[in-house]
Structure 1
């Protein structure tokens, strides 16, 4: 039965704030934790203890992690309420979910979703079995997604600077998917200013603190990027950000690792547990990303969306090398470029050559992707080059670049940055092809592929495929039979 009024419709789609982040009574918390029984403790930190327990929530019993603030902790009420406020507003599959909180009788408690594999720090330095190289890459991509969402994708005028990015604040679920946690030190910053800063008292964790922030007190999103660069080195090297058991000149991971990387010796700092799993090209590219994040000048560091793109490329390189050692068809499943939320679901990115076969080398694919294929501006037809592959986002799409170029096409729209064509394939299917104007290639193409390519929802037109090289950038969509709302309203 459809909602009868606009208010009914609103209520059916939006959960009230108190249901998103619930306030628990102290008696509920005490009952669930068995009066804070130490046998349920799964973690300790400067804030206090974390308990694993079950709690009744939304008509079911769920497993949760309960963080109890120690009244002697350096983290007090401001950090507690900052966490509640931040996670009450932010929802992303790479941010840990805050289920609720309790503030009663001088007890301050936070209730989170339970993350089976604990922290990345534990997995790297304390676990009996360390994550594989591919698992580590996936974790880095997930964490980068979460940080990018904080910086630019919160759907508000203000992004969020985490201010305490570190391996102990990256939690792992049962599938080793990563989620950013602990927002007690987070600060908001305008998203429409690329280099906006917040003047604030320096806080964070030694080994991860951005030197520029430490010396000036000016916090920017690039401060998080610096800290994430340290996390990348920690993942690659398998040693903590600060290790006082070593010689003094080796205490800090960042300075120690950068010295090897700048000398062209990144292979010498790889964690021995993954040394045989990582290809030389991946080591080189991964080290390059880390060193760019740690640049002395914050303005020269990449944004988190750029870090995500580079890490996804490294993962594709690593997976491709694995595929080349087998006889399987080259189908790469890469983690979604941007995470899901309640309304949008992401699926895997599949890259398949036009003939469905595997290429002989990664160098061959790079050469093919960079081969120019001129396209006539009027009808999108041109000399065919069957060797150039499309990147497809829908595995059910079987058209090739040759099919696209020889099909009848009609120019139906022009904008300030693209021309749009309706193309009819030989099998009768229609596609809509957006051809980007050259000077808008990089930014527009990156945004469309990064965001739109990963979204699958009944109310969003799916991106079927894309094509990009030095002279052409094409975005290929399913054609809409009835055109746009604008054309419908205007006849």
Structure 2
């Protein structure tokens, strides 16, 4: 049973709904007198009764209801009221005819802070705040943005009364709060304007009522009386450590009257629900919108007469809250202390992030018989919000309302003329009727058009969940109503404004698309759907959107340094604000853009289709970010063709000629556009420049002609001619030429482009002759070589750079994610080298309670995670329980030391996999939080996608996308199930490499997985690999490594420096990947070999002896003889990945290049260390016994999962 507590007193009275229109309610308000007790001494008097303050007025005023209101302009200390702070008073410019002038005509306002202090008796107090968001002298409407605090609680934060009134469809409104005031405690109410240098905001208040609550109607309980939460075990204690907001008071009866004892004066009247239509009613549901992310006290009031009738007539009923049964008739009717209870209290939690806005709280009454009076034994209910652990009741401003009918406009006219002249009345009635019909038709059309537009411009449920939906009023406030002073860009799409959100603390870019544009609507949705699924340091982040009233608005992170085009072409005209980019800065920008495109192509399957200088934005550190995805096109993954047939769109000068002539869009179309950008950065000229000679206006044509004539120096921007090193220039021009190749097949992948540009940057930094040739073909030499072998990379075009030294060159390039690239490549002579690593502190995650605000750092190098990064991913436990059929055995698909995995389906059809951690799980709370916080920041097609989490009581759930084929090891190592031909294995190898590459270099975080293995690679229905299980992953910065005494992972996959010394880096993951590649090639586990040899060393021996083909799984070797060279190249790369020295291993970026193109002669691998079978292995950390114990298979392999066959 979920019933939480029973009141033992009779119902006293019903109260008004918190957010109703006071214009209508003022006529039913009862008199609330103000009583004062004056002390003999000089101390302020203590208010013994209730008081009403008419803010901004002088003297005593009577409201239309007869209630007396006291002005605060000359309030005396002896009156029990004190006013402090900086404020002014003003009269509203607009006087609403239906609004009671008291207390709505005057207001107290401030652009700073002011407060009221009340000396009140101890007890529970209703604090009712009245707002009339009109225009006041010196204070504009829609500029109000403020915080209200009472005692130690935050009642409202970042609150706009103007937005709230607009959303409610009212002119004035009030909000009710409830606090328990202790003996001798002063009630302080503080109003603080949200200060910002860019926003002229203010705080205001029109009226304040302080109302005492009778003990018989108390919402607060004693400290030892807890209320159990619906559907959960923890108790909630509602005491003076909690503040309340009275959100709804709903009467479901039509004939309620106030009680005779006058206690109804406390609340006036309840809001009555519309009368149900007569009929057979056995199931009644009330949907009440409430703010997400709070707990709610739900008080249900029952009729004693109806309860007795139910007991007599055998009526069986039950009450459900959010589809969970909380009480039955037997629970309610049973006698307690000889009397029938009159109300029941329940506590409900609505999980989610506050920015989600509102969600319906469902109260349902079900019966086995028809309810006679359409409401059964229920008289009404109250919904009261409880403050969060941070003592706050604040929630985002609400959504806009539906519009009102104009019929009321004509009603006074009929009342005035109807009695005087029947003919005139009839004529006017006809005219008015015609006007009404026309008006309603136009309005209906406008409303239909608006709602239709909003429906058409509505993003998918997945995109809407990941993004923030802004109110139009919020956008107007952020941009000062689209002030031209904040205009930072405009074009055919519309305009871009600079703005500030979240109390003016966060700068954003607001793109306002042209309304009524069909093309704009398509691009609006395309951008939302595309950017909601993208997380990369070199791709601009979309924060949210607004699709209200036919507006199409996108809100992005603000790029402080504007676009690349600004710096190349616009700012040079303003010498005071212009400085020319250095060549190194330009190379860094090129590398950043190339990485962004590489991620779009390989990580998301997206073709940008409109890359150009104006769509490359720069943040405050000049890190480049690809933007504007209005023309982006997803690849057709399920088709064999490598292109998308589509109408040609793009920008002249950048668009791929092959795409123009064939309408076939490929990834390489973006590569061509990127080549144009490369020339722009080199030449400092636009792609199409009408200010130069006719035959020089097309940049690509002019630059190619100059390059072919050997006149490269003539196309270089004048500011760069003395700066660029020859080798850097040759490399850069070479890769630009390949990007602009007329045949898309001869253009490089963006992975290759990144590698080439990094070489160009290294040349510029070191000005050395490095061994580098264009990568266009492969030549695999199976014989071992020495350090004197030449690395020869043949290519179709003449080589740019020649060999000057006979050495092996390690390909990996170490990169920083900050946009500044420190490329640390080591050239080794073949002998063992160990790199000395710096000890740093990595990310540590605190217990789950840290989610209340953020994961607080305890060390200097620890990272911060905001609450908002994960709150939007939170699910209700009841929802997941329903999705998995109450975690039924039929839905169970996996089992491990951590707990169980279940398949489920959400209400909108999304298939999910739910990892339910057991209370005794070895994957403890730290791993749970670790995986959640890391995966919440990642999105890549080769990483398993985290959809959300649930943390309620002892339950810890992680919710992922459902991956149909489960894990790689179950297919690869089972000879009865294995159906992986070479093409599929190769796709798995390449996809896993891309996923790791993104972890190491592409996301906002630099992540070491630490437990890559076959069981942690999941396969979807198309056998695309997805790296999973981030429970022991770590976040580091740039090129840092970590030393640890706690070694976790899986033997056979762990790098030797990590297993033996506790040193881990991104190269540790590279080692694990190398082992995985050898497993995929052989079809054998790395631990399945005998005679003291493992897979790694046995593969090396065959490689050295020229029999490497013997290590390839016969099932794929015999069936794919034409692919033997590719298999051997993959083995070669795998052996490079398991080099003993981390510095000798390639980066994952280099691995993707070596795997993805038949291009280069690879360095020769050296013999791997045989630490896994050495009898001399001893961990070198100080806590030897602990390390040895934690390195045992039972403790290391924490995340292995056994799946049940389906």
Q: TM-score, normalised by structure 2?
A: 0.30
2:750 equivalent to 1:308:
no
Q: Deviations over 1:90-123 (max 9, x none)?
A: 1111110011111112211111000011111111
Partner of 2:468: 22
Partner of 2:587: 137
Distance 2:581 2:1168 in 1: 36
Distance 1:396 1:43 in 2: 43
SS of the equivalent of 2:635 reads: strand
Distance 1:476 1:174 in 2: 45
CA drift of 1:173 comes to 0.3
Partner of 1:185: 631
Partner of 2:538: 94
Long gaps (5+) in structure 2: 1-231, 234-348, 357-461, 572-577, 771-811, 838-1037, 1044-1055, 1061-1074, 1088-1095, 1109-1127, 1138-1144, 1152-1160, 1173-1189
Q: Deviations over 1:152-210 (max 9, x none)?
A: 112xxxx1010001111010001110110000001110458796111111100000010
Long gaps (5+) in structure 1: 325-332, 355-367, 374-384, 423-431, 455-467
Contact between 1:46 and 1:73, CA under 8 Å: does it hold in 2? no
> Which of 226, 230, 248 is matched with 2:672 structurally?
226
CA drift of 1:42 comes to 1.1
> Which of 1075, 1079, 1095 is matched with 1:415 structurally?
1079
Distance 1:69 1:477 in 2: 62
Partner of 1:121: 565
CA drift of 1:451 comes to 3.1
Distance 1:171 1:213 in 2: 25
Change (3 A) 1:11 1:103: closer
Partner of 1:439: 1129
Change (3 A) 1:453 1:253: closer
Contact between 1:96 and 1:112, CA under 8 Å: does it hold in 2? yes
Matched ranges for 1:440-459 at <5 A: 440=1130, 449-451=1146-1148
Distance 1:266 1:475 in 2: 46
2:707 equivalent to 1:261:
yes
Change (3 A) 1:266 1:192: farther
SS of the equivalent of 2:546 reads: strand
Contact between 2:563 and 2:616, CA under 8 Å: does it hold in 1? yes
> Which of 809, 824, 841 is matched with 1:350 structurally?
824
Partner of 2:599: 149
Q: Deviations over 1:9-47 (max 9, x none)?
A: x989xx985463111111111111111110011112221
SS of the equivalent of 2:625 reads: strand
Partner of 1:294: 740
Contact between 2:685 and 2:699, CA under 8 Å: does it hold in 1? yes
Contact between 1:352 and 1:389, CA under 8 Å: does it hold in 2? no
2:858 equivalent to 1:168:
no
Q: Is the deviation greater in 251-260 or in 172-181?
A: 251-260
Change (3 A) 1:98 1:487: closer
2:1033 equivalent to 1:336:
no
Q: TM-score, normalised by structure 1?
A: 0.70
Distance 1:446 1:296 in 2: 35
Q: Is the deviation greater in 480-489 or in 120-129?
A: 480-489
> Which of 53, 69, 75 is matched with 2:513 structurally?
69
CA drift of 1:268 comes to 1.9
CA drift of 1:473 comes to 6.8
Partner of 1:236: 682
Contact between 1:52 and 1:114, CA under 8 Å: does it hold in 2? yes
SS of the equivalent of 1:276 reads: coil
Between the two proteins, the alignment pairs up a number of residues equal to: 402
Distance 1:148 1:86 in 2: 15
Distance 2:535 2:1042 in 1: 32
Distance 1:445 1:11 in 2: 47
- Name the Cα RMSD after superposition: 4.5
SS of the equivalent of 2:766 reads: helix
CA drift of 1:70 comes to 2.4
Q: Deviations over 1:275-307 (max 9, x none)?
A: 222101111110110110111111111111111
Distance 1:445 1:244 in 2: 54
SS of the equivalent of 2:539 reads: coil
Matched ranges for 1:23-38 at <5 A: 23-38=469-484
Contact between 1:213 and 1:223, CA under 8 Å: does it hold in 2? yes
Distance 1:149 1:283 in 2: 26
Higher relative contact order (CA 8 A, sep 6+): 1
SS of the equivalent of 1:209 reads: coil
CA drift of 1:259 comes to 1.3
Contact between 1:351 and 1:390, CA under 8 Å: does it hold in 2? no
Q: Deviations over 1:106-158 (max 9, x none)?
A: 2111110000111111111122212111111111111111111111112xxxx
Change (3 A) 1:420 1:322: farther
CA drift of 1:336 comes to 2.9
Partner of 1:41: 487
Change (3 A) 1:250 1:236: same
Change (3 A) 1:67 1:420: same
Q: Deviations over 1:49-95 (max 9, x none)?
A: 11111012xx8731001111124878410011111111111111111
Which is helix-richer, 1 or 2?
1
Distance 2:741 2:707 in 1: 13
SS of the equivalent of 1:302 reads: coil
Change (3 A) 1:236 1:24: same
Partner of 2:1165: 472
Change (3 A) 1:311 1:347: closer
Change (3 A) 1:110 1:305: same
Distance 2:500 2:1171 in 1: 46
CA drift of 1:255 comes to 1.1
